[in-house]
């Protein structure tokens, strides 16, 4: 994955020099791509001719081409009728074919740029002549050594079968920090010449502005900056937050990625899972400048699987807060689109945004629901398998500091290649909470209600929420404990309203509410047993070895009192 426009230009220059006959630049930033192409063309003494169905053939700056620039040396612009004819792709390809073979062709060569030609090239197009003529042209360029390259500029990477082996796809990265900083600095310099604008002298302002704009296109950055400035004719810290809010809206509109505000959380909000938390805490500074200078490679990520409701998703949110990194949620189900080819481009776009925002935590919840198993019937013409290949290749090869925190409830539904070493740093299994973990979870949940846990018999509550109450190997999950305490709170509130005694939540409320709960572990006992067998050989336990939760306490009578030992 190319990191910035400089790397993109270098790679594109190599493809052009190597005479690749067909290159696709995958991007939403058409104007930025054309500017880079024009700069390369000037450097390499090549002539750029652009085609679009709305304007026919024209220059990069949208000005019309003179006939002298194209055919027979005749001066003057094209007549309107001729220009309209060039709105048809096949007619333009014929023109380009004549150009590369003409005796007066441009000596440095040509870059023939097609803007969004997929409607003509698609396999669903009723007229295959466009595909055939383009293929004839690129074969002629390749076999006869003509000084020309055909370039498609479009985010849609739907390439017809006839051209799949001819095309090389290159993604234009989103603006880097360096590019955005130069752009923002240039804007501030211009604003300073106008006394109507007030510029905050804070030396950190530009850096914070750049951080808030990372992950946006240059056009989106311009829109955000314009809105922020016009709002109050000032350029200050308030605009940083405004740009970040606008960025959240832009990312949310993509329908794939979403910013999650996890600043109020910490790993202390996760009850139990001590081994997972220890593993995460050890990597707290891996993304820092000191960690990089020490030679630490950024961790790739973890896959956390296990019993539903036992803290997997909460751990993802909490680690982002603990590491002071932005949390981005990727909905794998929304990657897939009804338009052929767009699913792959949406996945590449999501990856591109994550790498632009890095360092960050990418949370993929229930990842198994969005990835197909490679054996068996898929039924979508291979789209999901191509998306899977794109995602797995990125997981394996990524160098950017994007920490992937994936969760899965049904590990058996994941493609086996997802679990291969190198994709994730570690695979953790989350089991039902042990006795000590239930104590910790109950403490956290009671504290969240605004009550003091010291006023409750937490050991007793931990026992009755586990095997002592429900039987061997059955206990409430963390989510069930949270729901149990909330139900008891409702019962206490109703009782308080009924007798107006002012009584608060009591252990009796929790005991009576518990009678109505049927634990997930009881309903899905066989499935959980199968999960544990799988974890014994494929995963690392997220918690220390079991303790008193594995079996009911032994009860003794002493001096009229019941003791649990």
pLDDT-derived band at 312 (thresholds 50, 70, 90) equals very high
Structural domains counted in the chain: 4
Above 90 in pLDDT, residue 263?
no
Same domain assignment for residues 361 and 505: no
Domain assignment of residue 502, yes or no: yes
Domain assignment of residue 346, yes or no: yes
| End position of a domain, from candidates 153, 171, 189 | 171
Same domain assignment for residues 189 and 152: no
Domain assignment of residue 262, yes or no: no
**pLDDT > 90 fraction of the chain, expressed in percent and rounded:** 39
- Say what the pLDDT of residue 549 is: 40
Q: Could you give the CA distance from residue 343 to residue 497 in angstroms, rounded to a whole number? A: 55
Domain assignment of residue 407, yes or no: yes
Same domain assignment for residues 288 and 401: yes
DSSP alpha helix (H) spans, 22-128: 30-44, 80-85, 89-101, 118-121
| Pair 272, 398: CB distance under 8 Å | no
Same domain assignment for residues 276 and 397: yes
pTM: 0.71
Q: What is the sign, positive or negative, of the torsion defined by CA atoms of 47, 48, 51, 57?
A: negative
Same domain assignment for residues 311 and 274: yes
The average pLDDT across 464-471 equals 92
Same domain assignment for residues 400 and 494: no
The DSSP output letter for 76 is S
Same domain assignment for residues 371 and 292: yes
Above 80 in pLDDT, residue 328?
yes
Domain span at residue 213?
177-253
Domain assignment of residue 145, yes or no: yes
CATH number for 502: 1.10.8.60
Q: Could you give the CA distance from residue 62 to residue 74 in angstroms, rounded to a whole number? A: 21
Same domain assignment for residues 167 and 79: yes
| End position of a domain, from candidates 430, 462, 493 | 430
Domain assignment of residue 260, yes or no: no
Per-residue HEC secondary structure of 351-417 comes to HHHHHHHCCEEEEECCHHHCCCCCCCCCCCCCHHHHHHHHHHHHHHHCCCCEEEEEEECCHHHCCHH
The average pLDDT across 96-119 equals 88
Same domain assignment for residues 419 and 441: no
Nearest Cα residue to 432 out of 273, 314, 268, 267: 273
- Say what the pLDDT of residue 547 is: 45
Same domain assignment for residues 302 and 416: yes
- Say what the pLDDT of residue 381 is: 60
Q: What does the pLDDT look like over 508-522, one tens digit per residue?
A: 889 999 999 999 999
| End position of a domain, from candidates 219, 253, 287 | 253
Same domain assignment for residues 350 and 394: yes
Domain assignment of residue 182, yes or no: yes
Q: Which two tokens stand for residue 474?
A: 């059955």
Domain assignment of residue 261, yes or no: no
Number of C-beta neighbours around residue 127 at 10 A: 11
- Say what the pLDDT of residue 398 is: 86
Nearest Cα residue to 447 out of 434, 458, 431: 458
Same domain assignment for residues 159 and 244: no
CATH number for 300: 3.40.50.300
Q: What does the pLDDT look like over 522-547, one tens digit per residue?
A: 999 999 999 999 999 889 999 998 64
Question: What is the biggest distance separating any 2 CA atoms in the chain, rounded to whole angstroms?
Answer: 115
């Amino acid at each position: 994955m190319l990191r910035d426009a400089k790397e993109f230009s270098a790679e594109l220059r190599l493809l052009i020099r190597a005479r690749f006959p067909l290159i696709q630049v995958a991007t939403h930033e058409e104007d930025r791509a054309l500017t880079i192409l024009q700069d390369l063309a000037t450097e390499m003494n090549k002539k750029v001719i652009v085609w679009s169905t709305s304007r026919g053939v024209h220059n990069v700056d949208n000005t019309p081409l003179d006939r002298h620039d194209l055919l027979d040396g005749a001066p003057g612009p094209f007549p309107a009728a001729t220009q309209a004819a060039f709105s048809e792709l096949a007619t333009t390809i014929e023109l380009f074919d004549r150009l590369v073979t003409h005796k007066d062709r441009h000596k440095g060569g040509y870059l023939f740029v097609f803007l969004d030609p997929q409607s003509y090239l698609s396999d669903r197009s009723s007229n295959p002549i466009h595909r055939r003529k383009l293929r004839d042209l690129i074969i002629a360029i390749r076999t006869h050594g003509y000084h020309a390259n055909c370039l498609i500029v479009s985010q849609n990477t739907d390439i017809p079968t006839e051209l799949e082996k001819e095309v090389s796809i290159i993604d234009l990265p989103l603006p880097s920090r360096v590019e955005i900083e130069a752009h923002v600095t240039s804007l501030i310099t211009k604003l300073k010449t106008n006394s109507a604008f007030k510029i905050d002298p804070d030396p950190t302002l530009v850096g914070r502005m750049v951080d808030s704009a990372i992950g946006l296109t240059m056009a989106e950055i311009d829109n955000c900056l314009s809105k922020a400035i016009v709002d109050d004719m000032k350029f200050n810290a308030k605009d940083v937050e405004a740009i970040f809010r606008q960025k959240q809206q832009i990312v949310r509109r993509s329908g794939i990625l979403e910013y999650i505000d996890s600043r109020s959380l910490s790993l202390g909000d996760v009850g139990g899972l001590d081994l997972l938390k220890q593993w995460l805490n050890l990597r707290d500074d891996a993304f820092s400048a000191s960690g990089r200078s020490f030679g630490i490679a950024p961790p790739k990520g973890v896959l956390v699987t296990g019993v539903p409701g036992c803290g997997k998703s909460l751990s993802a949110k909490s680690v982002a807060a603990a590491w002071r990194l932005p949390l981005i949620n990727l909905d794998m189900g929304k990657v897939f689109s009804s338009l052929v080819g767009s699913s792959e481009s949406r996945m590449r776009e999501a990856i591109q945004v994550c790498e632009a925002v890095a360092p960050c935590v990418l949370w993929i919840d229930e990842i198994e629901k969005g990835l197909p198993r490679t054996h068996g019937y898929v039924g979508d013409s291979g789209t999901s398998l191509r998306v899977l290949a794109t995602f797995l290749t990125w997981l394996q090869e990524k160098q950017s500091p994007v920490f992937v925190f994936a969760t899965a409830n049904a590990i058996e539904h994941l493609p086996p290649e997802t679990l291969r070493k190198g994709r994730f740093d570690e695979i953790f299994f989350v089991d039902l909470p042990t006795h000590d973990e239930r104590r910790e979870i109950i403490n956290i949940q009671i504290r969240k209600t605004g009550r003091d846990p010291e006023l409750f018999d937490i050991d007793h509550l931990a026992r009755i929420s586990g095997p002592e109450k429900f039987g061997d190997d059955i206990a409430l999950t963390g989510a069930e404990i949270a729901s149990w305490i909330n139900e008891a709170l409702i019962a206490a509130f109703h009782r308080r309203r009924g007798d107006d005694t002012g009584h608060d939540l009591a252990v009796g409320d929790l005991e009576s509410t518990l009678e109505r709960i049927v634990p997930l572990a009881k309903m899905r006992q066989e499935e959980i047993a199968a999960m544990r067998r799988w974890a014994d050989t494929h995963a690392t336990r997220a918690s220390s070895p079991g303790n008193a939760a594995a079996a009911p306490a032994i009860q003794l009578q002493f001096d009229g009192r019941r003791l649990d030992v």
